[in-house]
Structure 1
């Protein structure tokens, strides 16, 4: 009746020590797999956020290149170049915001110093900044880098380069040839982001494979644990019916054995 009400083969270790010990091992394995899945979820969040931020950064740099290319045409008037300078300045501020992206209250582009932003509001690199990898264990003996190299994605040179473009756009003495010189720098900033996204993409593919394997491990472990602990309800019900029949037969036989006779009354 305990097995029928709980659905378990055992309800305390003394019922079957072997099954109980196996259950402890299976639960420990399941707990470990579930922790790896939580770690994997954290890694995926970092990766997805990093990829989105770098995608925006790449598009922003493309716009800067368009503006610089237009401005290199000396036919533009002073107020037009001022408008371009203002737009580039806004893009620079946007790139600083992207570099200071936070996920779960952690800055993902500042190496291991996740409690501080990469840049201050003026675009100066934080004194607490570094480019170290953040490795998270996602399986037994397997660690996966969650962050990207911020020196490639959001370098100090890139922010300073954009600031120089803004300054030169506002300088009437700047020629088109001077602005042309920035194009190769912008292309290099963009290429660095592309390279970093490619490396991140390879790790995201591996993360997907690991997620699939962890999901399968969880299913397998739960199945094995269920097989070890869960009672076969049809068998339990059959056994219960059998015991009830035996009990009723015993009661019936006992009642017949002790039936009163005429001698019982004569006494």
Structure 2
């Protein structure tokens, strides 16, 4: 009889430990919001969930890359806009200088201003930077990772200095003082400058258009990444997140069973003590 009582107590104790552990596991899941808190909870689910998490982290990094690329484009576009405005003023001056009734002093004043404006264009081309990279001197050739699989978009911005703007052979740098197309030499140089500035402004507009197209493409890519991220995050959530209602019911059930096992142990121990007293 004593052996049976000890066996019953051991069974009750084992049940109590089992249900207590299950209750603790349920409380952990409810407190963390995660169904999988260690590999033993669901090894295959954990592997799949981690793979999804790796994918979402990759997407987040790519989104950061794209935002940096868009910022770079914005910086370059802003500088090109200023260049265009500056050359617009040069065009006005060239048209004015083409007037053959102007005197030497007037042409010289125009030449001085043209020099300053063209020098400013070169300054913008040589000093516009993003994260230390000069953008408008022809050295900017940047590959941007635009997807988690490593595919790239190239941002190749042309040299926008005065020695590369205008028609071949009569680029804008030649119209500075001392250049072969110095405005003070004759009015035909002024007309040629006006033509070359028009060409340069078109070149700038073309470059801005290409950058704008790439920026728009990046916007569409961001939207695609958002949808991709959402889909993967939902899949990962279905695997890892706890069903609160179901787990609460499981917690309540296991707490009740643990309490019942404790009651059985208490009753068994009380009965055992009563038997021992009778044997005395």
- TM-score, normalisation: structure 1: 0.81
**CA spacing shift, 1:172–1:16, aligned 2, 3 Å:** closer
| Counterpart residue number, 1:265 | 277
| Counterpart residue number, 1:55 | 81
User: How far does residue 64 in structure 1 lie from its aligned partner after superposition?
Assistant: 0.3
User: How far does residue 144 in structure 1 lie from its aligned partner after superposition?
Assistant: 1.3
Contact 1:57 1:98 in 2 (8 A): yes
Distance 1:87 1:20 in 2: 70
Residue 5 (1) aligns with residue 13 (2): no
Structure number with greater CO (CA < 8 Å, separation at least 6) is 2
**CA spacing shift, 1:89–1:145, aligned 2, 3 Å:** same
Moved over 6 A (4+): 168-172
User: How far does residue 82 in structure 1 lie from its aligned partner after superposition?
Assistant: 2.9
Q: 2:175 aligns with which of 161, 165, 173?
A: 165
Matches within 5 A, 1:75-114: 75-100=101-126, 101-111=128-138, 113=139
User: Secondary structure of 2:100's match?
Assistant: coil
User: Secondary structure of 1:135's match?
Assistant: strand
User: How far does residue 21 in structure 1 lie from its aligned partner after superposition?
Assistant: 0.7
Query: Greater share of helix residues, 1 or 2?
Result: 2
Contact 2:90 2:114 in 1 (8 A): yes
User: How far does residue 138 in structure 1 lie from its aligned partner after superposition?
Assistant: 0.5
Distance 1:255 1:61 in 2: 95
Mark the runs of 5 or more structure 1 residues left unpaired by the alignment.
Answer: 115-132
Q: 1:134 aligns with which of 142, 164, 172?
A: 142
Mark the runs of 5 or more structure 2 residues left unpaired by the alignment.
Answer: 1-26
User: Secondary structure of 2:153's match?
Assistant: strand
Residue 144 (1) aligns with residue 176 (2): no
Distance 2:162 2:234 in 1: 49
Contact 1:47 1:147 in 2 (8 A): no
- TM-score, normalisation: structure 2: 0.77
Contact 2:108 2:184 in 1 (8 A): no
Task: Provide Cα deviations, 1:117-165, integer angstroms capped at 9, x if missing partner.
Answer: xxxxxxxxxxxxxxxx432220135321223222xx4352439844433
Contact 2:56 2:229 in 1 (8 A): yes
Distance 2:94 2:260 in 1: 99
Q: 2:245 aligns with which of 234, 242, 263?
A: 234
User: Secondary structure of 1:145's match?
Assistant: strand
| Counterpart residue number, 2:163 | 156
Task: Provide Cα deviations, 1:63-114, integer angstroms capped at 9, x if missing partner.
Answer: 1000111122233344433332222122112111221211011112244x45
| Counterpart residue number, 1:210 | 221
Contact 2:33 2:241 in 1 (8 A): yes
Distance 1:197 1:241 in 2: 65
* Structure with larger Rg: 2
Contact 2:163 2:173 in 1 (8 A): no
User: How far does residue 22 in structure 1 lie from its aligned partner after superposition?
Assistant: 0.5
Contact 1:30 1:221 in 2 (8 A): yes
